[in-house]
Chain A
């Protein structure tokens, strides 16, 4: 039995469809990453699965339970960490933990045991009596995670858990997630970070409410839409990336090009060599500093998928 199943999951706000017939399966123990640009419907999907928002259409099952019919039971089995860590600023770390523990009906020795375990797992020991307001971002996030997991949920929903925290804290959180998923807990995580996406065991990509990719990171990298047959990629480093991009787009054999930092990632026809690109760009007055072949990474894939989608939408509107 899958941990999470959605079938044509749909949510409308008035005329606007925020989530449009989204179907996917998440297996037990997976770390499932949901990606997509801002406003693409990630939070809305999580809210429907956790019972905060009603479904407009379709079905959703969490741990085998229909979220429409059995939201109460679902709540006992899941944990949720919202996009802004929802802690009580005027309560201490310990008081926050006690509160969430009691909410789940824990009390007495059992409550203290679970709290001790959570403090230990999240290394919160030095801060137990500190007000949540006084914690730095990384520690707030640990506390929020601790609060959300105090009752040993089977499935965890984390909405952008690493937004705004430093790289070390991010790395640590992901190490913890893998540790816990090894113990059979399923994680549903949204993120904008590609390095985090690379670490997920299962990825899905939503764009304007539609699911446009779903699979392991490897299978997504090999998607024909992202890396079409008869093409290959180059990373072209140059000084004036913006003007270079404009000029590069005029090349007839160039399928697509995007800026990544101080370089352009270009998808070109198979037969085109790096020397030819350097020569053609030089003819347009662009000095290439370095050019090297590139394996598509996830960011390339998502950008490619997004661009294709935009083009399709544009054509649909134009037609």
Chain B
């Protein structure tokens, strides 16, 4: 029994000490707890990747000859523009009276979409000639541009079909889309589970990354090196309080996600927390590895950033992994957040259970053990 615990000598001592450090530095701890919640509130409220209510300017020339100056356009063009409005994609905020004005609105960035309806729009329609409409899209925001083009084209096509087919006939094929798991395509449902994973990563690696390096700078690490303390004991003792802190943070974030942003958790919350444990473990171990390698707090900070960025971009948090070039897709397997985000989305959105997700947790656990052993080895190398 004694020998089993020998590699962890010093664990208890370090654990108590770290808890004291945390209590003395309660500001930093509060900060660590509050920042992620702030991020969640900002992201949950502000980021909506679904393209809605794109600012649209219209230059409607049709009906000018009819001379109804009070309302622009003809009855045909107004009916058509209503379809634009009803699509939810476009928000017509202004009618202009010249092509120049239309251009100005676009160049100034006030409008993302400009619609120009020619003077003979209604007459062409009535005469069963092809009536033309110009839709200008600001390409500088590609997601918006793509969506706006698709919807505008679809409206045009639909309107054409409606006019071409006799009223009684049905379309030959009707596609009825059904979005599973996130039926309203709400952005918070997609983003917040990923955000939780990234925020947990941030606070755990950062806080631990500073912990050993701070002792190097103070000189207390040298003092510890002449005591019988073991690297694993020291590192686990330092990780444990942050582990608890991260669990508290996870609970807070899940609560905010559920009740402030109404993201329902389809699966088991307990399973979710259990599957997160190995993720917290990897991140803490990574923080340790950084800390043992770094010679200054600044260096530790940089390395933490170096871990954070790939975790954001490769994990599928922002960009879907399925669309990644093969090399990045391969690399994404090395990023712990990839597995955690998959697990989070699985449990929260798809209601997945243990048997669908245990592999993620297992991979993370193995990663954690490897990283921790690397850190311990690095620690041993400090006697040079």
Contact = CB atoms under 8 A, between A and B. Distances in A.
Interface in A83-140: 84, 86-91, 95, 98-105, 107
A53 interface: yes
Contacts of B9: 105
A162 interface: no
A104 B225 contact: no
Given A82-B222, A86-B218, A90-B25, A54 B13 contact: no
A61 interface: no
Interface in B74-131: none
A72 B24 CA distance: 32
Contacts of A148: 223
Nearest to B233: A103
Nearest to A92: B20
Interface in B1-39: 9-10, 12-14, 16-17, 20-21, 24-25
B224 A103 contact: yes
Contacts of A105: 9, 228
Contact of B228 (A72, A89, A91, A101): A72
Interface of A: 50-54, 72, 75-76, 78-80, 82, 84, 86-91, 95, 98-105, 107, 148
15 contacts: A52-B226, A76-B228, A84-B219, A86-B219, A86-B223, A88-B17, A90-B24, A95-B17, A100-B13, A100-B227, A103-B10, A103-B224, A103-B227, A103-B229, A105-B228
Contact of A53 (B220, B227, B383): B383
B171 interface: no
B384 interface: yes
Interface string B206-243: 00000000000011101111111100000000000000
Given A86-B218, A87-B220, A80 B226 contact: yes
A91 B17 contact: yes
Contact of A52 (B10, B24, B225, B228): B225
Contact of A104 (B16, B218, B219, B228): B228
Of A76, A79, A84, A107, the most chain B CB neighbours within 10 A belong to A84
B235 to A, nearest CB: 14
A197 to B, nearest CB: 25
B13 A103 contact: yes
Given A72-B228, A91-B20, A103-B228, A80 B383 contact: no
A280 B223 CA distance: 57
A76 to B, nearest CB: 6
User: Residue among B9, B10, B14, B20 with the most chain A CB within 10 A?
Assistant: B20
B13 A102 contact: yes
Interface residues of B, number: 24
A198 to B, nearest CB: 29
B5 to A, nearest CB: 11
Nearest to A74: B226
Contacts of B383: 51-54
B219 A95 contact: no
Nearest to A83: B219
Nearest to A147: B223
Contacts of A100: 13, 227
B384 A82 contact: no
Contacts of B229: 103
A98 B20 CA distance: 12
A75 B228 contact: yes
Interface string B368-384: 00000000000000011
B219 A75 contact: no
Nearest to B224: A103
A260 to B, nearest CB: 34
Nearest to B383: A54
A280 B228 CA distance: 65
B228 A82 contact: no
A75 B227 contact: yes
A51 B226 CA distance: 7
Nearest to A13: B384
B346 to A, nearest CB: 42
A93 to B, nearest CB: 13
